Amino acid sequence: MAGEEVYVDWRGNAVDERRHGGIRATLFLYVLFMLRSCPSSSNFSVVAYFQGTLHLDIVTSSTVIGYLVGTVLISAALMNFISDAYIKRTTAIFVFGPCVVLGYMLLALQAQFPSLHPETCEIKKELNNCKPAKGWNLILLYMSLLLFAVGEGCMRSCIPSLGGDQFSNDDPKNSQLKSMFLIWLKFANSLGAIIGLVFLVWIENNLGWNIGFMICALVVLVGLLVAASGMPFYRMQKPIGSPLTKTLEVLVISSKKRQAIVDVMELQETGRADCIQKSGITQVDETKAITRMLPIFISCLVIYLPFTLLMTLTIQVGSTMDRGVGTIQIPSASLIAIPTAFHVLMQPCYSQILTPLLRTTIGHDCSITTLQRIGAGSVCGTAAACIATLVEVKRMTIVEQHGLTLTGTAVPMSVFWLVIQFFLLSIMDAASFGGLVEFIKSEAPPTMKPIAPAVQSFLAGLAAWSCCAFIQLVNRATRHGDGGRGWLDGTSFNGTRLDHFFLLLVIFELVALINYTFWARRYTRKLQRVRTVGLDEDNSRN
Q: Quick: pLDDT tens for 474-525.
A: 999 988 755 678 899 888 888 889 999 999 999 999 999 999 999 998 887 6
Q: Determine the pLDDT at residue 272.
A: 43
Angle 365-292-440 from CA coordinates, rounded to 5°: 45
Q: In sequence order, what are the residues at sequence separation of 6 or more whose Cβ sits closer than 8 angstroms to the Cβ of residue 473? A: none
Cα(195)–Cα(197) distance, integer angstroms = 6
Cα(228)–Cα(349) distance, integer angstroms = 34
Q: Determine the pLDDT at residue 268.
A: 45
Phi (first) and psi of residue 412, to 5 degrees: -75, 70
By the 8 A CB rule, do 422 and 193 touch?
A: no
Sign of CA dihedral 119, 121, 127, 133: positive
Q: Which domains does the chain have, with CATH numbers?
A: 10-241 (1.20.1250.20), 306-317+335-535 (1.20.1250.20)
Residue 138: exposed, middle, or buried by beta-carbon count in 10 A (0-12, 13-18, 19+)?
middle
Cα(81)–Cα(486) distance, integer angstroms = 41
DSSP helix/strand/coil, 14? strand
- Total residue count of the chain as it appears in this document: 542
- This prediction has a pTM of 0.87
34-86 tens-digit pLDDT: 999 999 888 878 888 898 889 888 899 999 999 999 999 999 998 888 876 77
Task: Report the chain's C-alpha Rg in angstroms.
Answer: 25
According to DSSP, the residues that pair with 325 across neighbouring strands are 328
Mean pLDDT by runs of 10 across the 542 residues of the chain is 62 80 90 92 85 88 92 91 81 93 95 88 71 89 94 92 83 78 87 90 89 95 95 84 58 52 44 46 64 88 91 88 80 82 68 58 62 90 94 92 79 89 87 85 77 87 93 89 76 88 95 93 72 54 52
| Distance in Å from the first CA to the final CA of the chain | 35
By the 8 A CB rule, do 84 and 240 touch?
A: yes
Angle 192-197-200 from CA coordinates, rounded to 5°: 90
DSSP helix/strand/coil, 8? strand
DSSP helix/strand/coil, 411? strand
Cα(313)–Cα(309) distance, integer angstroms = 6
Cα(386)–Cα(425) distance, integer angstroms = 12
Cα(72)–Cα(346) distance, integer angstroms = 28
Q: Please list the alpha-helical segments (H only) found in 196-329.
A: 201-206, 209-229, 243-254, 257-270, 274-318
By the 8 A CB rule, do 156 and 150 touch?
A: no
Mean pLDDT of the chain, nearest integer: 82
Element (H, E) at 9: none
Q: Determine the pLDDT at residue 329.
A: 80
Q: Determine the pLDDT at residue 334.
A: 83
Cα(351)–Cα(330) distance, integer angstroms = 33
By the 8 A CB rule, do 519 and 295 touch?
A: yes
Phi (first) and psi of residue 240, to 5 degrees: -120, 15
Q: How far is CA 356 from CA 176, 282, 365, 372, 438, in A?
A: 18, 39, 7, 21, 21
